[in-house]
Amino acid sequence: MDVIRLPGIHHDTSMTILTDDCETILIDTGTSWHQVNTEERIKSKIEHDDITTILLTHRHYDTAGAAAHLASIFDSTIYAHGNAINPLCSNDQLTTWASRFDSDMPPTSAQAIEDGWKSKIGDLEIEAIHTPGHTSCHTSFLLEELGILVTGDLFPAATTPGRTDFPTGNVVQMRDSIQRVQALDLDTLIPSRGETIRGNAIEESLTKHLDFFDSMIEAKGVLPKEWPVPVPTCMWWTPEPEW
């Protein structure tokens, strides 16, 4: 099986394609702004016409905006954590954050999954790991046999911690989710935007993020005064000085 990462365009999160000769699973889709371009990029990477499953790490527009379009094109079933189902199908503009992108969230029908949900692709198994903090619905996806975790905006990048100040975000849950990831036996960590993290760099990155969120909890959620306030469409905080 091939694991292919497609970097996002502009505001889009990156996508991860799991594919073999018979089946494809897509994790995250980006906004609806570039969905036709996204469709063609995906087709160039797979050997068959269908994507059986689209998995969403969470409900945000930059992550899930193109899911409805791609599901109709590739005849896919969309899955997301149960906390995301109503906001997705009702094109909720607030908790999907679409309003901050001056966009409408396309109504998106999805099947609910929960922590521990599993599915097969070829001889491998993919497992949903509920990792709230960025949103209440946030879910990472584990390929245990390969030691790969697709993290969504739990880890935007090794050098930039994810935001917890969105609707349904929670800094304590973010800390706890990072601790849960730290307990996994990982060889590869695929963040939403930054470079893929491998080997010994995983533990170093996790520890840095964990220390930051511990300090945020101690400061009652107040950002360090040296750090710039992010624009509404930025899904991460930018450390100052740089990590």
Residue 50, pLDDT score: 86
Residue 91, pLDDT score: 85
- Residue 88 DSSP SS3: helix
**Domain interval for residue 89:** 2-218
Q: What is the CATH number of the domain that holds 150?
A: 3.60.15.10
Residue 92, pLDDT score: 94
Tell me if 234 is assigned to some domain.
no
Tell me if 225 is assigned to some domain.
no
- The count of C-alpha atoms lying within 13 angstroms of the C-alpha of 72, restricted to the half-sphere facing its C-beta, is 9
First to last CA, the chain: 34
Tokens linked to 1: 């099986």
Tell me if 23 is assigned to some domain.
yes
112 neighbors 85 (Cβ within 8 angstroms): yes
Tell me if 139 is assigned to some domain.
yes
Residues of the chain scoring pLDDT < 50: none
Tell me if 227 is assigned to some domain.
no
**Eight-state DSSP code of residue 225:** T
* pTM given for the model: 0.97
Residue 47, pLDDT score: 86
> Per residue in 28-87, pLDDT tens?
999 999 999 999 999 999 988 789 999 999 999 999 999 999 999 999 999 999 999 999
Tell me if 17 is assigned to some domain.
yes
Tell me if 232 is assigned to some domain.
no
Tell me if 224 is assigned to some domain.
no
The number of distinct structural domains making up the chain is: 1
